[in-house]
Each structure stands twice: as C-alpha cells, then as structure tokens.
Chain A
Amino acid sequence: MVQLENVTKQFGNYKAVNELNLNVRAGEFLTLLGPSGCGKTTTLRMIAGFEKPTSGSVKIGEKKVDHVEPYKREANTVFQSYALFPHMTVSENVAFGLKMKKINKQEIAERVKQALKMVQLESYGDRSVKQLSGGQQQRIAIARAIVNNPKVLLLDEPLGALDLKLRKQMQMELKRLQKSLGITFIYVTHDQEEALTMSDRIVVMNEGEIEQTGRPNEIYEKPKTRFVANFIGETNIFKGVVDNLNGNYASLKVAGQHVLIPKSSNLKEAEEVYISVRPENAKISDQQQDNLFVLTGEFKEKVYIGTTTKIVVELNGGMEMIVHESNGKMDGVKKGNPISVSWEPADSVILR
C-alpha cells in the first residue's frame, strides 16, 4: 500500500532518515516506534508529502508520489496537535476535506454525520472546536481524516496529549476503528507499550534507520539488537564471551560467572556477544531447585510495582540485574544478603 525505497532525508548536514526501505501492506496497522529524533515523524511527513525526500522514492498504492503535492495524495493525517480549525464548527472541520473535493452538499452532510457517529460525537456537530475537551478534539481530528476514505491514514503521536486512562481507551477504539474500516494505518509513537498494544507490525527506528521490523511479540521476545531490547520494555543486557559450545547449550562467561544460552548456529568460540534477559523471566533461585545454571550475588533493594516486586541484585563481578518476583518473596531479606539468580537458557536472547 505504501512503499519507501531507499528514502533519505537530510536537513543541512543532519540525516534525519537514512536509506530507509519499508513496505506497508494494505489494511495493516503499522507503527513506527522510536525515541524522539529517530526519524519516525520525518518518515510519516514524507508519506504525507510535507517533506520531500532528499533521495529515494515514495509510493502510495501503485502510484509514485514523489512529485505529487500533499493535497493530491490519497493519504490523510491526524496531527499531534490535532490542528482543528478554530474558526470552524465541528461539522465544518469534518466536512472540510469533502468540500475541497466538491462533493454535493447532501452527501457531505450524510458522511459527516456518519463520521461523527463513528467517533461517538454525533450530537457535537454545531459546537465550536474550542469547546471540546482534549479527548473529544482527538476524536474529531480522527473523524476529519477518515471521512475522506483515505487509502492510508497517517497518525503522528495522536494520543500523546491525553491522560493515561483516556489514552488506553483511545488505543482500543483506534484499533477497533482500524479493523472495521480496513484502512491502512501508519502510526507514529515513542510509547513502546502503545505500539505493542495496537500494531500488527512494529518498525523500530533509531537514528534514521530501521533497527527491526516485526510483529509485537517478535519485537518483544526476539529483539535483534541491543537498541531494540533496551527500548522495548525493561531488560537486562549482559556482555559475555562464548567459552564452551560442546553441551546442549552454549556457555557464556559473563563477569566471571557462567550463563547458558541457546546454541544458535553461528556462535563461535571466543566470540563476544550480548544477551538480553527480561526481568520477568529471571527468578531468584532457591538452593533446592534444579537449575541449569545459577548466578550468585547480593540483594540490593526491592521496589513494589503492583502485580510484582522489582528486585535489584548486585551480581558478583560487579553487574546489576533486575528480577521481577512475586510480592512477598523477599520479605526478611536484607541488603547485602547473598542470593542467587537463574533463568531458562531459552530466555536469553542473543543480540548483535
């Protein structure tokens, strides 16, 4: 549906987007995820047409749009600031795109009504946009875009200004809306949780380049790079040297202790690799348990975070590790007490 081929955008000497290749499928919810300055918004703006790529080419549908002005592109944008026209009513805002296409008045009225119904603000048509709350403005901004039946809807951090509860609710609504309309959504966010909740596919970007593309579970469970592992969720990253490939698992020497990791085909002896271990996959191990390997260390501190308790362990060899354990497990354990940590070798994800 949308294709970017070797797209580069340069602002002066600064490369905002570097040789980006991306193929967005029809009807999918694709999220561009990354920290601020990673080039995700610039990428979106190049699809909308507000920025012209320095080199490379953008396709919407089957059509190359490199020389097509934004007002002729079959994509609509939901802006981060909503950009609702303050001198128009809600209905006039929603009708704007249809009016520009010179659609007859009756049909405009009908479609505006439908769009407002879709965002559950049917009775708000005559209000001034200034009278709406942030959440309502957000919905009108969405209605104003989808009323045009675009091939692609571009959303630039549309929920950024809403409070947490409303944001969660809008995430579900947006997802539902996208499913029922079947429109391709390209969604920009820096919120990894939002990306995981809503997307069919996530494109993780960093410094103008794509780090990894994949389904939410792939991105979370099988991050390919240190950046992705770090950016998506909380994780422990260890640097180690492969020192034994003879057993069922590969052995990795991490700060003087041994960790077993899955034997992937291209591991070489004495190779330096990074692994990522999610805190919820690691366990504080009791001596009785039969673990494949154990790392020893000292208890440092614990933080209650609701469903679990976050435990900070100072591993022997000077590294810190975070483990999520059931609440109450560390009751009575004092700072400096020796404890040990373990996890399934399969839960170590090898990063490059």
Chain B
Amino acid sequence: MIKNIKLAYSLLSPSMLWLLLFLVIPVAMIVVISFTVSDGYGGTIYEFSLSSYKLAFSSFYLKIIWQSVLWAFAASVICLVMAYPFAYFIARVDKGKNILLFLVMIPFWSNLVVRLYSWNALLNDGGVINNILMHFGIISEPVKMLYTSFAIIVGLVYGFLPFMILPIYSSIEQLDKSYLEAAEDLGANPVKTFFRVTLPLTLPGIIAGFIMTFVPAISVFVVADLLGGNKLVMVGNVIRDSFLVEMNWQLGAALSILLMVLVLLSVLLFMKFTSSKDKKFLF
C-alpha cells in the first residue's frame, strides 16, 4: 500500500516528465502529422487529410507489413523453442549460473549493426558456411543464404534471443520446486510434469519473452538492411525511408501508427490467447 500519495508522485515525477516529453508528445505529434498533407519536401501543410492512410493501406505497404509480421513471428517462435531449454538449464544448474547469465548478456556490449555484419560474412556465397560445406563436399556450389528470408529470420533470432531467455529464466527460477515434487509425488512422470505443471506455471515468462522479442523484431530495420539486400525490406525500413529518403513524413507517420496499432493488437491477442480460462490449450 502506498501511504503517502504526494511523496509517491514527487518521486515518480522525473520519470513521468521524461515519458511526457519523449513518449507522449512525440506520439501525439506523429498522430497529428499522419492526418496532414505533405508539401513534398519534408514539410507539413496543416490540413486534415486521410491521403497518407490511403497510401499506407495500399497493397504494396500491406504486403511489407504482413511479411514483417510473419518474419517477426517466426523468429519469436524459434527464439522460444531455443530459449526455453536454455533458460531452464540456467535456472536449474547448480554451479555457474551467474557466468551463464553473463554470457547471455555479453552480446549487448557491442552494437547490433556490427554483429549483423559478421552474419553477412558467415552467410554470403563466398562466406564461411558455404566454404565449409563445399570443402567437405556436402554441397557442390554455394547455397544462396544471404539476402533471403532465411537470413532475415536468422538475424532476428540472433538479435533478440536474449530478450526471450531472460524473462523465461526468471519465471523458471521463481517456480517453486515443491510444485514439481507434488506432481511427481502424484504420479506424473517428468514429461507430464513439464507439460502440466512447469509449462503452465512459467507461461507469464513465455508471454513476456514473446512480447519482448516480437515487438522489437517487427520494427527493426538494420536486420533487413544488412541481411535482406535491397529486395527484402521490413516495415521498419519503409518507415525510415519515408521519413528520411522520400521526405514524406505523413506516410511515415501513418505507417508508424499502423504498426503501433498492429503491435498492440497482436500483443493483446497473444495475451488473451495464452491466459484464457481454458488452459488446456497446451495439451
């Protein structure tokens, strides 16, 4: 219980001020700009118009958005499958827990752009992976990997895996072991214990991890820049290009709003799906 409401507000005011200045006001500006008219040179004519939304809803942009949703979703699912066993291992290992967590966080020490360049070197036609596969005669000519959907998904998984591991790790870590013992005591073998007790009880971590992976993955543009070539783009790329290349702030703003609504809706949908009363969807 918060007893002193004035004190609470005064302690919160720096962060609230920060959010107001750098989140609420900019978002409001984007909303406003999205309903105005472009002067063609990056300027704004303050006249109400839906023209940028009409453009944003054209099949060209909808296709890119849909493609981004699919890539981000696929990457999140792959992250989940990879992260859960890993997080479980870290949470339950006797020694070296801190070192393992430290290793998960090490990638944050360098910039994502730099790290994605190394994937470029790994995946390209004359790159490390193709060379090794050809050296051992597994393939006779280079397999095209760079500038494909595969490369983009690899990049997204690589970039956001830690965001999936950490929340899942924390939910497994907090899971009271006596629940697992109780399940075992009542005749559930390890597999049944996992699906009927561990997984449902760590669902909050899965939801958090999924949101923390999916949301940045759908809007990131460096991955498509470096691994998608000039043909494969994500919605983040077109938004950046609208603002900075085409100087059409209205379209960029409309696409941003569209993406924001889409992300909110999918997060809500995901949460509703996973926290529905009928929890037997897992079995």
Residues of chain A whose beta carbon lies under 8 Å from any beta carbon of chain B: 48-50, 69-72, 75-77, 79, 81, 83-87, 96-97, 100-101, 144-145, 148
Minimum CB–CB distance from A94 to chain B (whole Å) comes to 10
- Chain A residue numbers with a CB within 8 Å of B189 are 69, 71
Complex Cα spacing A50 to B181, Å: 7
- Chain B residue numbers with a CB within 8 Å of A81 are 176, 178
A83-B279 CB under 8 A given contacts A100-B192, A101-B187, A144-B186: no
Name 27 A/B residue pairs within 8 A (Cβ), A-sorted. Answer: A70-B184, A70-B185, A71-B184, A71-B186, A71-B187, A71-B188, A71-B193, A76-B185, A77-B181, A77-B185, A79-B181, A83-B178, A83-B179, A83-B181, A83-B182, A85-B183, A85-B197, A85-B201, A86-B201, A96-B183, A96-B186, A97-B186, A97-B187, A100-B186, A144-B186, A148-B186, A148-B187
Complex Cα spacing A155 to B193, Å: 21
Interface size class for chain B? 10 to 19
Contact: B186 with A87, CB < 8 Å?
Answer: no
Q: Pick from B192, B193, B279: contact of A87, CB below 8 A.
A: B279
B127 CB–A CB distance under 8 Å: no
Complex Cα spacing A249 to B181, Å: 56
Complex Cα spacing A84 to B185, Å: 12
- Chain A residue numbers with a CB within 8 Å of B197 are 85
Complex Cα spacing A144 to B197, Å: 15
Name 10 extra pairs, CB < 8 A, besides A70-B184, A81-B176.
A48-B185, A50-B181, A50-B184, A70-B181, A76-B185, A79-B181, A85-B201, A87-B201, A100-B192, A144-B186
- Chain B residue numbers with a CB within 8 Å of A144 are 186
Most buried by B among A49, A69, A76, A100: A100
Complex Cα spacing A96 to B185, Å: 10
- Chain A residue numbers with a CB within 8 Å of B182 are 77, 79, 83-85
User: Which 6 interchain pairs have the tightest Cβ spacing?
Assistant: A97-B186, A100-B187, A83-B182, A83-B178, A70-B184, A77-B185
- Chain A residue numbers with a CB within 8 Å of B192 are 100
What does the 1/0 interface line of B244-267 toward A look like (CB < 8 Å)?
A: 000000000000000000000000
Complex Cα spacing A69 to B180, Å: 13
Minimum CB–CB distance from B271 to chain A (whole Å) comes to 16
- Chain B residue numbers with a CB within 8 Å of A69 are 184, 189
- Chain A residue numbers with a CB within 8 Å of B200 are 87
> In B160-214, which residues have CB < 8 Å from any A CB?
176, 178-179, 181-189, 192-193, 196-197, 200-201
Minimum CB–CB distance from B35 to chain A (whole Å) comes to 45
Contact: A85 with B179, CB < 8 Å?
Answer: yes
Contact: B201 with A71, CB < 8 Å?
Answer: no
Minimum CB–CB distance from A50 to chain B (whole Å) comes to 6
Complex Cα spacing A272 to B279, Å: 69
- Chain B residue numbers with a CB within 8 Å of A83 are 176, 178-179, 181-182
Minimum CB–CB distance from A23 to chain B (whole Å) comes to 23
Contact: B178 with A100, CB < 8 Å?
Answer: no
